[in-house]
């Protein structure tokens, strides 16, 4: 539904990128459980980074912050499964979620921030930074620009994103690259 | 806990207005 990046897991109050304290850079995903399950998100988590690597630092550690007992159970089960499959120890921490500190605006929607034309359209669609960060459309466009469009998705959802015809053409051109 | 979406602007995308009734949150750090 939407995504945001921030800092989690540490004790420092109000961390910032340049004063992170003991927090870890973190992604938060609000999802519709009728469309995608937590187990499927875990599959993506394990597949999109190297959880066996020794953490470079607390800032860049591999961590699952579980929100309830079911998430904890699935995280632990899939960690065991992944270790068996890889034949290597996984360094990922599995810890209870406590508090998420949202990162500075300039870290949010990274790919979308790299396209001035589409970003200008979102300034019109979501006039406040808060609305922009929490926008489902902005999360979708950011994903499309990052090359993560599932087949047929842009065609299906494009008309609902609020973009101008030119903006939509621009977005479609990324998919064709 | 999910943040409450900000009030929609007049030209807000349809996809922002059409929100699911139940939303869960997942929190990951990818190294």
Judge whether B10 is closer than 8 Å to chain A, CB to CB. no
Residue A29: phi and psi, rounded to 5, are: -125, 120
State residue A147's pLDDT score: 87
Judge whether B14 is closer than 8 Å to chain A, CB to CB. yes
Q: What percentage of chain A reaches a pLDDT higher than 70?
A: 98
Q: Compute the average pLDDT of residues A145-168.
A: 89
Mean pLDDT of all residues belonging to chain A: 92
- Cross-chain Cβ contact A157/B15 below 8 Å: yes
Considering only residues B2 and A1, tell me which one the structure prediction assigns the higher pLDDT. Answer: A1
State residue A103's pLDDT score: 94
- Cross-chain Cβ contact A140/B15 below 8 Å: yes
pLDDT tens per residue across span A79-107: 999 999 999 999 999 999 999 999 998 89
Comparing CB atoms, the residue among B2, B7, B13 nearest residue A30 is B2
Task: Read off the pLDDT band of B9 (50, 70, 90).
Answer: low
**Is residue A137 pLDDT above 90, yes or no?**
yes
Q: Compute the average pLDDT of residues A46-53.
A: 92
Contacts of B25 in chain A (CB under 8 A): 28-31, 67
**Is residue B2 pLDDT above 70, yes or no?**
no
Among residues A27, A86, A132, A117, which one has the least CA distance to residue B13? Answer: A132
Question: What whole-number distance in Å separates Cα of residue A144 and Cα of residue A175?
Answer: 7
Q: How many CB pairs under 8 A join A and B?
A: 126
pLDDT tens per residue across span A112-131: 999 999 999 999 999 899 99
Question: What whole-number distance in Å separates Cα of residue A45 and Cα of residue A87?
Answer: 18
Residue in chain B closest to A158 (alpha carbons) equals B15
State residue A148's pLDDT score: 84
Mutate to test the interface with B, among A20, A131, A141 (most CBs of B within 10 A): A131
State residue B21's pLDDT score: 93
Residue in chain A closest to B14 (alpha carbons) equals A160
Taking the whole predicted model, whether its pTM rises above 0.90 is answered as no
Task: Read off the pLDDT band of B1 (50, 70, 90).
Answer: very low
Question: What whole-number distance in Å separates Cα of residue A115 and Cα of residue A176?
Answer: 16
pLDDT tens per residue across span A2-38: 999 999 999 999 999 888 898 899 999 999 999 999 9
Q: Compute the average pLDDT of residues A145-174.
A: 89
Q: How many residues does chain B have?
A: 31
């Amino acid at each position: 539904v939407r995504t945001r990046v921030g800092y989690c897991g540490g004790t420092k109050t109000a961390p910032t990128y340049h004063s992170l304290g003991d927090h870890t850079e973190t992604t938060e995903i609000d999802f519709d459980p009728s469309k995608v399950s937590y187990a499927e998100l875990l599959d993506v988590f394990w597949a999109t980074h190297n959880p066996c690597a020794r953490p470079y630092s607390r800032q860049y550690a591999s961590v699952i912050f579980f929100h309830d007992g079911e998430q904890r159970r699935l995280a632990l089960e899939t960690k065991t499964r992944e270790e068996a499959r890889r034949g290597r120890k996984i360094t990922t921490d599995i810890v209870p979620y406590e508090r998420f500190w949202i990162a500075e605006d300039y870290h949010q929607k990274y790919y979308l921030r790299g396209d001035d034309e589409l970003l200008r359209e979102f300034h019109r669609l979501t006039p406040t930074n808060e609305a922009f960060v929490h926008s489902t459309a902005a999360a979708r466009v950011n994903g499309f620009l990052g090359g993560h469009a599932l087949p047929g998705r842009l065609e299906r959802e494009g008309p609902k994103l609020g973009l101008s015809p030119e903006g939509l053409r621009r977005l479609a051109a990324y998919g064709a690259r | 806990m999910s943040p409450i979406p900000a009030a929609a602007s007049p030209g807000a995308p349809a996809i922002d207005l059409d929100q699911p009734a139940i939303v869960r949150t997942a929190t990951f750090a990818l190294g």
